[in-house]
Chain A
């Protein structure tokens, strides 16, 4: 069975600090997809990134970067020079393409608060 663990329930930083959100996953499939979503206080779920299991290259998008390590089953998310607008709940999710189509299993989420 698939499982996603976000061990950090809450993180609080001061603006301009870098912050890393951890995500560890479990799956038996060799083909799978990992996602990060942002949920601001307004409640909508904003898609940030999707990564497939065959692509271990790290990715950078502006102040966001992702580190995918199959050896440790981790897909960590780093925000550089954090801003108050980054305050939100961040969810990591997993989809096992072979066994469950596009059904997503979510981690418990990490509440990030960026203080001015």
Chain B
């Protein structure tokens, strides 16, 4: 299984600022995703991080608010821009291994609080 790390693990931010979350996988993976989990809720997919091209966003999420990069097969970043208290959530990165299609593993998450 792939081991996924995220930085930072948690942060408290002021309204109107931006935060970039990093996701690092210890092996090459075929697909990477970003999910949001609002307090007490389930996980919702934000976007698929495509290597070398623009991310594919789900309905309700836009690139201006959640720009994503994936410069190589093991690393991706998610930026939460112009934050408001409604963005307070856990943001999770996930990856599908190149050898186990559809076996999806998750990072530990980044717990974001916006004041």
Q: A43-B90, A45-B109 are in contact. Are A104 and B104 (CB under 8 A)?
A: yes
A-B contact count (CB 8 A): 54
Q: A33-B102, A43-B90, A47-B104 are in contact. Are A103 and B109 (CB under 8 A)?
A: no
Bound complex: CA A107 to CA B43 (Å): 8
Across the interface, do A35 and B42 meet the contact criterion of CB distance under 8 Å?
no
Please give the number of chain A residues whose Cβ is less than 8 angstroms from any Cβ of chain B in the complex. Answer: 21
A8 at interface by CB-CB < 8 Å? no
The interface residues of chain B lying within 8 Å CB-to-CB of A43 are: 90, 108-109, 111
The interface residues of chain A lying within 8 Å CB-to-CB of B33 are: 102-104
Bound complex: CA A37 to CA B41 (Å): 14
Bound complex: CA A9 to CA B36 (Å): 19
Residue interface bits A12-27, CB-to-B below 8 A is 1, else 0: 0000000000000000
Q: Closest chain B residue to A35 by CB distance?
A: B104
The interface residues of chain B lying within 8 Å CB-to-CB of A105 are: 45
Across the interface, do A102 and B43 meet the contact criterion of CB distance under 8 Å?
no
Q: Which residue of A35, A45, A97, A108 has the most chain B CB atoms within 10 A of its CB atom?
A: A45
Residues of B whose CB lies within 8 Å of any CB of A are 1, 31, 33, 35, 41-45, 48, 90, 92, 94, 96, 101-109, 111
A-B contact pairs, 21 of them (CB 8 A): A43-B90, A43-B109, A44-B106, A44-B107, A44-B108, A44-B109, A45-B92, A47-B1, A47-B103, A52-B102, A95-B104, A101-B48, A102-B31, A102-B101, A103-B33, A104-B35, A104-B43, A104-B94, A106-B43, A106-B44, A108-B42
